[in-house]
């Protein structure tokens, strides 16, 4: 059996699970680096997925706790799309993926892990990436630690402001 090293998973496995929604973030920015928040807009923010499907897996979510796309105001929806576009551009520049999955799961039955707070997923993909590992051994390979990925992406998101 092959062993893959993923030490950041232990914090999730053994750590306390929050009672509150993980996407309802405080207004202050003091915890942004700890939470892997890359960018704050007026209505939405960009955050890295702590338990990613692939390296540099990002999410765009509104600050407001809503569960459906139709619940977004026009301003929230517009900014959300602008941030999605920015995420794709930054990922293409920094990581040069061969493709990107960008999507939204509305509701638990659709596959949303946190259905109560809408969040868009942006996942860079490379030809021959970890696909076979997930299919054959239910394992994902992460080539870079989350903190390193955050540090590579953060200056590009800072430049958006």
Place of tokens 């929604």: 21
Relative to beta strand 120-125, strand 44-48 is unpaired
- DSSP E strand stretches across the chain: 37-40, 44-48, 58-62, 99-104, 120-125
Active site residues: 119
Calpha distance 27→123 (Å, rounded): 26
Q: Which residue has the tokens 């232990």?
A: 10
């Amino acid at each position: 059996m092959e062993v893959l090293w993923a030490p950041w998973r232990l914090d999730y496995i053994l750590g306390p699970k929050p009672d509150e929604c993980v996407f309802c973030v405080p207004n202050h920015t003091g915890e942004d680096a700890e939470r892997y928040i890359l960018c704050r807009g007026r209505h939405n923010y960009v955050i890295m997925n702590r338990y990613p499907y692939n390296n540099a897996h990002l999410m765009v979510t509104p600050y407001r706790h809503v569960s459906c796309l139709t619940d977004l105001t026009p301003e929230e929806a517009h900014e959300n799309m602008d941030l999605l576009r920015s995420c794709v551009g930054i990922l293409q520049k920094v990581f040069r993926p061969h493709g990107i999955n960008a999507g939204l799961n509305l509701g638990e039955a659709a596959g949303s892990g946190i259905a109560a707070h809408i969040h868009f997923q942006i996942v860079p993909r490379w030809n021959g990436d970890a696909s076979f590992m997930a299919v054959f051994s239910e394992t994902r390979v992460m080539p870079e630690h989350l903190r390193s990925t955050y540090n590579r992406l953060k200056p590009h998101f800072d430049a958006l402001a």
